[in-house]
């Protein structure tokens, strides 16, 4: 069996997922691409041998031969497109975050339930081989009971200023740290109940003009008593830095590193190696694996591995952490309408 898929949003991430759909997932047929900038859609379609191109995603949704859609539109448009896709009877894969508010998350989830379609949210780190192996070890009890988690997420560049506006991306914490919030829940097997944040514009003062920051630290308290810490940064000039450590009662597990290739240069009083240049290089296989998982779940009629409820929980943590930053106080997840477990 195979699944006919339409791609909505053909920017940098959309074109990446289009490539995987066209060339890395045998059971997927990429049949149409839509982007409000039609040139983006045409360029991606040409690379992926796709004949059908649209500037209006509604035209793509009207196609009877599209079984499912992959949504990679701007963050603040996700819910609008999800609701339209659900009403058109299409199964849905959407990039993170599901939405910037819990009310909008609930709208999207309600539309999906009413339509009886499946929806998966793209937190690709759960499909990275290193994270998958770490999760297996934690669940098998190899490090005892998880008691603390440390997550590092640092980009080697400053984001576009228009994107950085909270109304567009949610800001540094909601846009970047949401990956870490999802991993924290997944790896620790417990819900976050409280956040405490500190952050500021320390390197790129122009971010302050659009209401964003470039560095933040978020502490987490879990329902089972465990502790967590997330640091996110936009100024890792040395490379793309994604690392995690889970400390257990009987050991620890480390995930990630700084090196792209296993090549070292040794000189007098100096040892050097390269660095990971960006998220496309670090998580290329994970992006392919998550799309493959989505396609398989639809074809085999299985539950998706990352649900709207998972995405809502990560969004709730991001909202609480951002409020903690703004109000300089600890914020319970229950205050913002998230789980109080």
pLDDT at 338: 82
The phi and psi torsions of 154 (rounded to 5 degrees) equal -130, 125
Query: What is the mean pLDDT of the segment spanning 136-162?
Result: 97
pLDDT digits (tens, 9 = 90+) for 160-179: 999 999 999 999 999 999 99
Give residue 246's Cα distance to chain centre. Answer: 20
% of the chain exceeding 70 in pLDDT: 99
Residue scoring higher pLDDT (230 or 273): 230
Domains with residue ranges and CATH for the chain: 3-124 (3.40.50.720), 126-285+312-336 (3.30.360.10)
Altogether, the residues listed in the chain come to a count of 341
Residue scoring higher pLDDT (305 or 341): 305
85 vs 60: CA distance, rounded Å:
10
pLDDT at 340: 37
Question: In whole numbers, what is the pLDDT of the chain averaged over residues?
Answer: 95
pLDDT at 261: 87
pLDDT digits (tens, 9 = 90+) for 195-209: 999 999 999 999 999
pLDDT at 341: 37
pLDDT at 260: 87
Q: What are the beta bridge partners of residue 198?
A: 217
Locate all alpha helices (DSSP H) within 27-125, ordered by sequence: 38-48, 57-61, 78-87, 102-115
Q: How far is CA 324 from CA 24, 177, 210, 336, in A?
A: 42, 14, 19, 11
229 vs 188: CA distance, rounded Å:
12
pTM, full prediction: 0.95
Residue scoring higher pLDDT (276 or 214): 214
Task: Return the SS3 of 229.
Answer: strand
**Cβ neighbours of residue 340 under 8 Å, at least 6 residues apart?**
193, 332, 333, 334
228 vs 190: CA distance, rounded Å:
11
How many Cβ atoms from other residues are within 10 Å of residue 33's Cβ?
A: 31
Residue 339: pLDDT band (50, 70, 90) is low
Give residue 219's Cα distance to chain centre. Answer: 20
Residue scoring higher pLDDT (277 or 23): 23
**Cβ neighbours of residue 23 under 8 Å, at least 6 residues apart?**
48
**Is 336 within 8 Å of 329 (Cβ atoms)?**
no
Residue scoring higher pLDDT (340 or 32): 32
Question: HEC profile for 297-332?
Answer: HHHCCCCCCCCHHHHHHHHHHHHHHHHHHHHCCCEE
Residue scoring higher pLDDT (284 or 224): 224
**Is 120 within 8 Å of 307 (Cβ atoms)?**
yes
Helical pair 308-327 and 102-115, crossing angle rounded to 10 deg:
170
% of the chain exceeding 90 in pLDDT: 92
31 vs 8: CA distance, rounded Å:
11
How would you classify the pairing of strands 52-54 and 241-248?
A: unpaired
pLDDT at 1: 84
The phi and psi torsions of 270 (rounded to 5 degrees) equal -155, 135
159 vs 104: CA distance, rounded Å:
24
Query: What is the mean pLDDT of the segment spanning 105-111?
Result: 98
pLDDT digits (tens, 9 = 90+) for 249-299: 999 999 998 888 889 889 999 989 989 888 877 888 999 999 999 999 999
pLDDT of residue 51 exceeding 80: yes
The phi and psi torsions of 157 (rounded to 5 degrees) equal -150, 160
């Amino acid at each position: 069996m195979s699944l006919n898929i339409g791609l909505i949003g053909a920017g940098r991430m959309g074109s990446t997922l289009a490539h995987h759909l066209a060339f890395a997932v045998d059971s997927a047929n990429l049949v149409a691409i839509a982007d409000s900038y039609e040139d983006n859609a045409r360029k991606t379609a040409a690379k992926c041998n796709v004949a059908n191109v649209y500037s209006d995603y509604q035209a793509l949704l009207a196609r009877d031969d599209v079984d499912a859609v992959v949504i990679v539109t701007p963050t603040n448009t996700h819910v609008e497109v999800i609701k339209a896709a659900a009403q058109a009877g299409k199964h849905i894969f959407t990039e993170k975050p599901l939405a910037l508010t819990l009310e909008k998350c609930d709208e999207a989830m309600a539309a999906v339930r009413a339509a009886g379609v499946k929806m998966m949210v793209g937190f690709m780190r759960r499909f990275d081989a290193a994270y998958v192996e770490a999760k297996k070890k934690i669940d098998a009890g190899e490090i005892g009971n998880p008691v603390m988690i440390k997550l590092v997420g640092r980009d080697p560049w400053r984001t576009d200023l228009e994107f950085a506006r909270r109304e567009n991306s949610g800001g540094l914490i909601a846009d970047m740290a949401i990956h870490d919030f999802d991993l924290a829940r997944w790896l620790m097997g417990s819900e976050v109940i409280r956040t405490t944040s500190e952050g500021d514009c320390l390197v790129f003062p122009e971010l302050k003009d659009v209401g964003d920051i470039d560095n933040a630290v978020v502490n987490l308290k879990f329902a089972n008593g465990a502790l967590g810490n997330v640091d996110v940064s936009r100024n890792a000039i040395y490379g793309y830095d994604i690392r995690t450590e889970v400390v257990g009662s009987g050991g620890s597990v480390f995930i990630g590193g700084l090196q792209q290739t296993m090549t070292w240069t040794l000189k007098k009083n100096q040892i050097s190696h390269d660095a990971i240049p960006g998220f496309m290089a670090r998580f290329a296989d994970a992006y392919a694996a998550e799309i493959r998982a989505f396609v398989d779940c639809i074809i085999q009629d299985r539950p998706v591995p990352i649900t709207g409820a998972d995405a809502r929980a990560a969004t709730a943590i991001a909202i609480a952490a951002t409020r903690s930053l703004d109000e300089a106080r600890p914020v319970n997840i229950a205050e913002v309408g998230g789980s109080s477990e």
